[in-house]
Amino acid sequence: MVALKKKSSARTTYRDAGVDIRLADDFIRTIGPIADATIAERSGPMEGIGGFGALFDLKRAGFRDPILVSSTDGVGTKLRIAIETDQVDTIGIDLVAMCVNDVLVHGAEPLFFLNYFALGKLNNRLGERVLKGIAEGCRQAGVALVGGETAEMPGFYADGDFDLAGFTVGAVERGQELPRRQDICDGDILIGISSSGVHSNGYSLVRKLVERSGLKWSDSAPFEPSKTLGDALLEPTRIYVKPVLQVLKSTDGIKAFAHITGSGALGKLHRILPSPSANGVRAHIELGTWQVPTVFRWLRDQANYSDSYEDEKELLRAFNCGIGMVAVVAREKAKQILELLKASKEEAFVIGKIENHGEPSGHWPKVEDAVRLTGNLSFE
């Protein structure tokens, strides 16, 4: 027989279990003004954070017959670097970027954002730093931070660890949504918009390669000596919302966008193309038409990749290699769109075209066969 432990006569509170409700209330009061600042810049929100749900008036935001577009995401193991280096101030920008850029490729304007912040024990200073980063991402994207959830979960997360997830909703007028797959045809142009670095994908491989290099996060970055390795690899993901929306308002020449995240261009472009049986086209990317940032050269070298076709394909499968967004545009509108992006201070390049696939079976043997690569990557 198992002897039962004698019941304690001591009073046990929620705080004794590791959850401090008063501290959580203080945190909500702290972040209220941070979120309210993003709401003040965005038409449509009907109240600030603090309720059980968030109300949004689409008519007040200027939409007549909208289709809603939603997305949710996290920042992957890039978060591990932020935690280990105590550089958490910009990781919220990455969180917003991963969500709003995905909504944007459908031609939608992101409207509001919610976050989920989970940790073992609430630290109001840490939480404030993270939330300020999220608010900055919302400001860059023009979205309102209308709410979220802070979950204190003792025994689930180790001391100092936390996790983040984000959720956004956007809207696009009916008939204007992207991609327009039925319009994509032989001769359309691929325009690549530059990334700000590794963005928020491939960090499980990045962390493994840093470990192999023997460097510490506090060491000088071999590819950017003015920064520590940790700071350089925490460069926030670029948010494309404002310049891309401006282009969409100025021309009807864009047929599709692809947000280049996990699995790179090889794994993302097929999502926006028509099926081979529809009109038999694929994307042709000409490597060398843009300069790949030096961070990717360093990662390539740590991975012991060569400049062979298979190794460059592997690099493009793991990382964005300097291109964070790809647009499929009508040939006659390509020059105008490049000029519009340049006017918005975005670096953009013609990186290829749409071509006839020529696959007699009417299907791609593999997903990545939707993209043909020629040439070699050109590094800065």
CA 40/CA 30 separation, integer angstroms:
17
In a domain, 311, yes or no: yes
Q: How many domains does one find in the chain?
A: 2
The whole domain housing 105 covers 21-173
Tokens of 324: 């964070």
Say if residue 347 is in the same domain as residue 258.
Answer: yes
Say if residue 59 is in the same domain as residue 120.
Answer: yes
In a domain, 4, yes or no: no
Domain boundary among 173, 195, 219: 173
In a domain, 231, yes or no: yes
In a domain, 83, yes or no: yes
Secondary structure element (H or E) that encloses residue 285, with its range: strand 281-287
- Whole-Å CA distances, 61 to 110, 123, 340: 11, 36, 25
Say if residue 117 is in the same domain as residue 263.
Answer: no
In a domain, 204, yes or no: yes
Q: What is the pLDDT of residue 270?
A: 85
Q: What stretches of the chain show up as alpha helix (H) in DSSP?
A: 21-40, 78-85, 91-104, 124-141, 203-213, 229-233, 241-250, 264-268, 276-279, 294-302, 309-318, 334-343
Say if residue 235 is in the same domain as residue 367.
Answer: yes
In a domain, 347, yes or no: yes
Say if residue 355 is in the same domain as residue 220.
Answer: yes
Say if residue 179 is preceded by a cis peptide, omega within 30 of 0: yes
Say if residue 264 is in the same domain as residue 157.
Answer: no
Q: Quick check: helix, strand or coil at residue 170?
A: strand
- Burial string for 241-270 (b: 16+ CB within 10 Å, else e) reads bebbbebbeeeebbbbbbbbbbbbbbbbbb
Q: What is the pLDDT of residue 305?
A: 94
Q: What is the pLDDT of residue 4?
A: 62
Domain boundary among 147, 173, 199: 173
In a domain, 229, yes or no: yes
Domain boundary among 173, 197, 219: 173
Say if residue 134 is in the same domain as residue 217.
Answer: no
In a domain, 351, yes or no: yes
Say if residue 91 is in the same domain as residue 223.
Answer: no
Q: What is the CATH number of the domain that holds 166?
A: 3.30.1330.10
Say if residue 160 is in the same domain as residue 298.
Answer: no
Residue in 112, 99, 140 with CA at minimum distance from that of residue 54: 112
Can you give the pLDDT of all 380 residues of the chain as single tens digits?
Answer: 556 666 666 776 767 667 676 766 777 777 788 888 888 888 998 877 767 888 999 999 999 999 999 999 999 999 999 999 999 999 999 999 999 999 999 999 999 999 999 999 988 899 999 999 999 999 999 999 999 999 999 999 998 899 999 999 999 999 999 999 999 999 999 999 999 999 999 999 999 999 999 999 999 999 999 999 999 999 999 999 999 999 999 999 999 999 999 878 887 888 898 876 556 789 999 999 999 999 999 999 999 999 898 999 999 999 999 999 999 999 999 999 999 999 999 999 999 999 987 654 445 556 667 889 999 999 99
Give me the phi and psi of 157, to 5 degrees please: -110, 140
CA 277/CA 284 separation, integer angstroms:
18
Say if residue 166 is in the same domain as residue 40.
Answer: yes
Q: What is the pLDDT of residue 159?
A: 87
- Cα distance from N-terminal residue to C-terminal residue, the chain: 72
Say if residue 146 is in the same domain as residue 188.
Answer: no
pTM, full prediction? 0.91
CB 235 within 8 A of CB 164: no
CA 105/CA 103 separation, integer angstroms:
6
CB 170 within 8 A of CB 62: no
Q: What is the pLDDT of residue 91?
A: 98
Q: What is the pLDDT of residue 183?
A: 95
Say if residue 199 is in the same domain as residue 84.
Answer: no
Q: What is the CATH number of the domain that holds 375?
A: 3.90.650.10
